[in-house]
């Protein structure tokens, strides 16, 4: 799957998420943890790529959250194939409502990454992100953009 380079890991008691920067996008490789052991055969396992076109917004929102700047959440929706019955995929980066005076950020808001690939509970992964986790996501997005620039894999199509 992956040869060389850098990966970023977000480890939780219920699952481990590897962020793998690639020239085509950011690979999300999520392995559920059952009874303290990683299990790629368990419901909820995920191996997918967030395309390069979505990385800039995800990167900017991650940076805004890291630096405590006012920012909305970031939603990436990948449309599934209707003929194959695949559901849409949602990747959502958000934080709790501001806790400061007059609705301002206090710095105590929790950030979350939500990955929804289906209707079952195992297909609705919600991961609480600490500062280290946010830095991993920010660096992974930045690395994707660097790889894409170096390899020339991103050819944006401007509207006519």
* CATH code of 128's domain: 2.30.31
Question: Range of 49's domain?
Answer: 8-151
Residue 14 lies in a domain: yes
Quote the number of domains for the chain: 1
Q: H or E segment at 63?
A: helix 52-66
Please state, in angstroms and rounded to a whole number, the distance separating the CA atoms of residues 109 and 104. 10
Crossing angle of helices 52-66/131-151, nearest 10°? Answer: 140
Closest listed residue to residue 32, CA positions, set 92, 94, 121: 121
- Whole-number pLDDT of residue 83: 66
Residue spans of the chain under pLDDT 70: 1-4, 81-85, 160
Residues constituting the chain: 160
Whole-prediction pTM: 0.87
What phi-psi label fits residue 153: left (phi over 0), alpha (psi between -120 and 50 degrees) or beta? Answer: alpha
């Amino acid at each position: 799957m992956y040869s060389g380079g850098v990966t970023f890991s977000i480890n939780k008691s219920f699952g481990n998420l590897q962020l793998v920067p690639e020239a085509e996008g950011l690979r999300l490789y999520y392995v559920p943890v059952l009874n303290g052991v990683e299990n790629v055969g368990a419901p909820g396992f995920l191996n997918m790529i967030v395309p390069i076109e979505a990385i800039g917004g995800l990167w900017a929102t991650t940076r805004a959250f890291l630096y405590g700047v006012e920012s909305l959440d970031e939603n990436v929706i990948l449309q599934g194939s209707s003929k194959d019955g695949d559901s849409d995929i949602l990747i959502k980066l958000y934080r709790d409502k501001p806790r400061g005076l007059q609705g301002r950020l206090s710095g105590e808001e929790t950030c979350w990454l939500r990955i929804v690939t289906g209707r079952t509970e195992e297909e609705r992964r919600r991961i609480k992100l600490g500062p280290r986790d946010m830095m991993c996501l920010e660096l992974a997005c930045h690395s994707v953009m660097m790889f894409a620039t170096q390899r020339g894999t991103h050819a944006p199509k401007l509207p006519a």
